């Protein structure tokens, strides 16, 4: 497999692991990137992808793809920036800025509950299709009208798609701009990072199509559970992301388009304590707030233990990270973003071959092991 891009000699193990993902794990097209102290040390891509022009195209330097829930890392950053500017109180009720949201007992849901998937709004009271998800106002109206499915703040239940609309509407109410517009104006534009929540037509020719997993989001779940109720109302097939309607829409939990380079570039803001290239995006104190534990226990939707801070997943016995100053999130099918504030490292992997997992797989794991091997640090 021919691998393109650059990789500092110190991190050649990452290049080797990336190549082996194709040879041994069947990757089709992918990119991987890492930064240290804000500088790119790994930026690799390889394989093939389908695009609007047809199948079998080489994955290029500027290829972008729907990264699913890795998009959430961008939504977390925007929300933290709004709080850092004094426009949003993460500990205050959402209804303070979105009065219509107070119905059905949701007056006790704080923004921190939305960030930690504990708002009790993991799905919808009515079936919501991929077409519906392209209408922000429609979706937010449905979420504002329904009652929580469990007592807010008592447990996490993965808000796979709903979280982005909730955070997006909060952002619009307090910042006067949509989540995607704020991200472009305040983050990706200044950083020249090729990531989009709401992807314009000018990018269509370089958007790779995902290779969907066999099952729709959620898979085979026991009836009557929160997990089944969540995904039964979200009959989402990954092929929906291949439509122009999906690309244009702002879906801040699942619809972002980028590549490993752009994700790692943006996440390096956090890895470096909130500043990058001489510009302060976030205070160090707000970066530290990410590690305030919000939930730690069995997630009602994913049915696995999770430890959650403000947005990001945190290290735990069940999901050990390299150190306690690491945080992460991943996307349906295998994409992953990780921030290590101790080593000032950011990492990302994105791909078109979607596997069943919503929390990463061996492909990203191998790359992380190689990265930390090069750093001389152990992965837990």
Contacts of 213 (CB under 8 A, 6+ apart): 238, 332, 333, 354, 355, 356
Look over the chain and give the mean of its residue pLDDT values, rounded to a whole number: 95
Per-residue pLDDT at 108: 95
Cross-strand pairs, 93? 110
The DSSP H or E segment spanning 351 is strand 345-351
Q: Into how many domains does the chain fold?
A: 1
- Render pLDDT for 167-215 as a digit per residue (tens, 0 to 9): 999 999 999 999 999 999 999 999 999 999 999 999 999 999 999 988 7
Distance from C-alpha of 189 to C-alpha of 179, rounded to nearest angstrom: 14
Q: Which residues are catalytic?
A: 69
Is position 331 within any domain?
yes
pLDDT band at residue 3 using 50, 70 and 90 as cut-offs? very high
Helix (H, G, I), strand (E, B) or coil at 313: strand
Per-residue pLDDT at 218: 65
Distance from C-alpha of 357 to C-alpha of 197, rounded to nearest angstrom: 23
pLDDT at residue 162 tops 60: yes
Is position 240 within any domain?
yes
Q: What is the CATH number of the domain that holds 224?
A: 3.40.710.10
pTM: 0.96
pLDDT at residue 26 tops 90: yes
Per-residue pLDDT at 376: 85
Per-residue pLDDT at 72: 98
- Among residues 68, 77, 28, which one has the least CA distance to residue 358? 68
pLDDT band at residue 379 using 50, 70 and 90 as cut-offs? low
- Render pLDDT for 4-20 as a digit per residue (tens, 0 to 9): 999 999 999 999 999 99
pLDDT band at residue 48 using 50, 70 and 90 as cut-offs? very high
Is position 153 within any domain?
yes
Mean pLDDT of 130-153: 98
pLDDT at residue 307 tops 60: yes
Is position 162 within any domain?
yes
Is position 380 within any domain?
no
Helix (H, G, I), strand (E, B) or coil at 275: strand
End-to-end CA distance of the chain: 30
The DSSP H or E segment spanning 178 is none
Per-residue pLDDT at 63: 98
Encoded tokens for 181: 């517009």
pLDDT at residue 326 tops 90: yes
Per-residue pLDDT at 380: 54
Is position 91 within any domain?
yes
Is position 25 within any domain?
yes
Asked if 113 contacts 155 with a C-beta cutoff of 8 angstroms, the reply is: no
Q: Cβ–Cβ contacts within 10 Å for residue 64, how many?
A: 23
Residue-range definition of the domain harbouring residue 115: 3-375
- Render pLDDT for 92-129 as a digit per residue (tens, 0 to 9): 999 999 999 999 999 999 999 999 999 999 999 999 99
Mean pLDDT of 264-278: 98
- Among residues 19, 145, 82, which one has the least CA distance to residue 310? 82
Is position 257 within any domain?
yes
């Amino acid at each position: 497999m021919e691998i393109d891009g650059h990789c500092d000699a110190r991190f050649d193990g990452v290049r080797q692991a990336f190549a082996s993902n194709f040879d041994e794990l069947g990757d089709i097209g992918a990119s991987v990137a890492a930064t240290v102290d804000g500088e790119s040390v790994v930026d690799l891509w390889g394989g093939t992808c389908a695009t609007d022009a047809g199948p079998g195209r080489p994955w290029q330097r500027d290829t972008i793809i729907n990264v699913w829930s890795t998009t959430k890392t961008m939504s977390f950053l925007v929300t933290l920036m709004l709080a850092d500017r004094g426009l949003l109180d993460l500990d205050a009720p959402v209804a303070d800025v979105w009065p219509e949201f107070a119905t059905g007992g949701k007056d006790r849901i704080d923004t921190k509950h939305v960030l930690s998937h504990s708002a009790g709004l993991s799905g919808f009271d009515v079936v919501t299709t991929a077409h519906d998800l392209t209408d922000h106002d429609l979706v937010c109206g449905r979420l504002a009208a329904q009652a929580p499915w469990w007592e807010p703040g008592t447990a996490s239940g993965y808000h796979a798609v709903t979280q982005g609309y909730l955070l997006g509407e909060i952002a619009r109410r307090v910042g006067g701009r949509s989540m995607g517009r704020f991200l472009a104006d305040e983050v990706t534009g200044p950083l020249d990072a090729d990531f989009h929540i709401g992807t314009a037509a000018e990018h269509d020719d370089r958007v790779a199509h995902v290779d969907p997993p066999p099952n729709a989001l959620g898979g085979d779940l026991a009836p009557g559970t929160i997990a089944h109720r969540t995904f039964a109302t979200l009959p989402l097939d990954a092929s929906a992301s291949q439509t122009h309607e999906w690309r244009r829409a702002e879906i801040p939990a699942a619809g972002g388009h980028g590549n490993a380079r752009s994700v790692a570039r943006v996440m390096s803001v956090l890895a470096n304590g909130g500043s990058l290239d001489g510009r302060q995006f976030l205070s160090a104190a707000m970066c530290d707030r990410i590690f305030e534990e919000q939930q730690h226990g069995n997630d009602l939707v994913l049915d696995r233990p999770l430890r959650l801070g403000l947005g990001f997943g945190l290290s735990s016995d069940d999901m050990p990270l390299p150190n306690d100053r690491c945080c992460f999130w991943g996307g349906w099918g295998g994409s992953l973003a990780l921030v290590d504030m101790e080593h000032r490292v950011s990492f990302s992997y994105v791909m078109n071959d979607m596997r069943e997992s919503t929390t990463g797989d061996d492909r990203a794991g191998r790359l992380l092991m190689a990265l930390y091997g090069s750093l001389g640090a152990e992965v837990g």
